[in-house]
Amino acid sequence: MTATFVALLRGVNVGGANRLTMAALRAAFESAGGREVETLMQSGNVVFSAPADQGEAIVGRVRAAVARDLAIESPIVLRDADSWRRLVAGNPFLADGANPEVQHAICLSTPPGAEAVARIESSRAQHEAFAMVGANVYLKLSNGVARSKLANVWLDARIGVVATMRNWRTVTKLAALIDARR
């Protein structure tokens, strides 16, 4: 059975570092076994199809190829289409009427424990709100992401798993790419 996946590379094409063209990224996914590979923007967002049991293996091959061929070490967080739809539908801040422009989602490699969640809560700023649901973190950053501590590297250190953040606009655009495949 074929499945659709979203792969999120962290730290590519940010501030001029880790330059990775989307053509090279698509080629890496295709060489690794991905089909119908699409990228969104220049920041490592990939939607691809593959046998349902091959998503993780493909991502592993892509990571190895990008490291070997382009000298870029980039963690990749993977979600299947149903998980991505749940991410979009589960945003508690949209239900509260919050402005989507100040919202972000962080996808974690694995769900953190309760102790890790408590460490995040105790460190956040007054104007920041977050909700953790499984391996997803929803953020409402009223003063913007640039002023927030709740960034990838900080979260990695606090909770011990790989984190990669996308703004809500990107999250919904990736959902549209998934839905267009139906």
Q: What is the CATH number of the domain that holds 107?
A: 3.30.70
The boundaries of the domain holding residue 133 are: 86-179
Domain presence at residue 48:
yes
Domain presence at residue 80:
no
pTM above 0.85, yes or no: yes
Block means of pLDDT (10 residues each) for the chain, length 182 residues? 95 74 94 97 93 98 94 93 96 85 91 80 70 89 73 71 91 97 84
Query: What distance in Å separates the CA atoms of residue 94 and residue 153, rounded to the nearest whole number?
Result: 26
Domain presence at residue 79:
no
Q: What is the pLDDT of residue 131?
A: 85
- Domain end (from 13, 44, 74): 74
* Contacts of range 150-159, beta carbons closer than 8 Å, 24 or more positions apart: 150/106, 150/120, 150/124, 152/10, 152/11, 152/106, 155/106, 155/108, 155/120, 158/116, 158/119, 158/120, 158/123, 159/108, 159/112, 159/116, 159/117, 159/119, 159/120
Shared domain for 57 and 95, answered yes or no, is no
Q: What is the pLDDT of residue 150?
A: 66
Shared domain for 52 and 99, answered yes or no, is no
Q: Domain of 49: which CATH number?
A: 3.30.70.1280
Contact between 136 and 109 under an 8 Å Cβ cutoff? The reply is no
Q: What is the pLDDT of residue 116?
A: 78
Number of domains in the chain: 2
